[in-house]
Amino acid sequence: MWRFLTYITNNEIQSRHEVLFDVIFWIAETLALVIGTSLLLAKHDGEWIPFLVIEYCWAMDNLRHNRP
C-alpha cells in the first residue's frame, strides 16, 4: 500500500517534499472528494460535483508536478 501511495503522490524518483505529507494530503483530498460528492448527492445538489472534481484534479496536479 505504501508503494502505491508514494507512486500516486510523486512523479519523481526522489521526492523533494516530505513523502508522509504527500500521502496525508492525497488521503485528505480523496476523502474530501468522496464525502463531498456523497453529501451533494444526498442534498440533490449534484451540479456542484464537477467543481469538486476539478479542485481534486488541480490539487493532484500540484502535488505531483509543482515541486520546489
Residue tagged 476539478 (cell numbers): 54
User: In which band, very low, low, confident or very high, does the pLDDT at 5 lie, cut at 50, 70 and 90?
Assistant: confident
CA dihedral of residues 54, 60, 66, 68 (deg, nearest 10): 140
pLDDT at 25: 85
pLDDT at 11: 63
Alpha helix positions (H), 1-68: 2-9, 19-42, 49-65
Residue-wise pLDDT for 7-65, tens only, equals 777 766 666 667 788 888 889 999 999 999 999 999 998 899 999 999 998 888 877 76
Cα–Cα distance between 30 and 34 in angstroms, integer? 6
| Residue ranges covered by each domain of the chain | 2-65
Instruction: Find out whether 62 and 17 touch, Cβ atoms under 8 Å.
Output: no
pLDDT at 50: 93
- pTM given for the model: 0.75
